[in-house]
């Protein structure tokens, strides 16, 4: 495993089944294991880039809603080779994709968008590959072109 690779991120969710449905439909993650009140999602055969969903049904609904760019447990990242397709899948699965943007990034540019997924988790989704973010050995190709490297920000 490369130095600095994120093995897994853990996210609490009020409705485990709904959260699994969102992440499998929107981001093409697979359910690798499900034990009672938690599920491990990722890409089969990969030792990194996993998302562990833990049921917390008693979570206080009175907590403030997520704000864009909250740091820590409410902001995760994943690469995409096709931003428009990924945004459409997120929206179809019940999430909310935001406007796409392209910014200077060294000698090149970076295209990305952010999206609000289930349970108040924001996802930052940069374009991977040619013309976008370089992928490295920590990244695993998912079954439908989403590059899996869950990274807490």
pTM, two decimals, is 0.76
Per the domain annotation, does 64 fall within a domain? no
Q: What is the pLDDT of residues 23-77, one digit of tens each?
A: 999 999 999 999 989 999 999 888 888 999 999 877 656 556 666 655 555 788 8
Alpha-helical regions (H) of the chain: 16-27, 83-92
Per-residue pLDDT at 132:
46
pLDDT above 60: residue 14: yes
In a domain, 108, yes or no: yes
Please, which residues have CB within 8 angstroms of residue 128's CB and are 6 or more apart in sequence? 79, 80, 81, 135, 139, 147
CATH of the domain at 137: 3.10.180.10
Asked if residue 66 is part of any domain, the answer here is no
For residue 32, being part of any structural domain is answered with yes
In a domain, 91, yes or no: yes
| Residue 130's pLDDT band (cuts 50, 70, 90) | low
Q: Is residue 2 part of a domain?
A: no
Closest listed residue to residue 135, CA positions, set 31, 48, 40, 26: 48
Domain that holds residue 17: 8-58+71-152
Q: How confident is the model at residue 127 (pLDDT cuts 50, 70, 90)?
A: very high
Report if residue 88 sits inside a domain.
yes
Mean pLDDT throughout 69-96? 86
Does 49 fall in a domain? yes
Contact (CB, 8 A) for 118 and 51: no
Tally of domains in the chain:
1
């Amino acid at each position: 495993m490369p130095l600095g690779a994120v093995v897994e991120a853990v996210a609490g969710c009020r409705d485990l089944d709904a959260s699994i449905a969102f992440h499998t439909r929107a981001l093409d993650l697979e359910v690798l294991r499900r034990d009672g009140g938690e599920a491990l999602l990722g890409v089969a055969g990969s030792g990194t880039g996993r998302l562990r969903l833990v049921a917390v049904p008693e979570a206080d609904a009175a907590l403030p809603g997520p704000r864009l760019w909250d740091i820590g447990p409410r902001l995760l990242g994943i690469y995409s080779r096709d931003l428009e397709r990924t945004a459409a899948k997120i929206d179809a699965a019940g999430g909310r994709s935001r406007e796409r943007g392209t910014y200077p990034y060294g000698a090149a540019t970076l295209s990305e968008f952010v999206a609000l997924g289930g349970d108040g988790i924001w996802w930052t989704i940069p374009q991977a590959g040619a013309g976008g973010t370089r992928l490295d050995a920590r990244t695993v190709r998912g079954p439908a072109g989403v590059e899996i490297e869950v990274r807490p920000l």
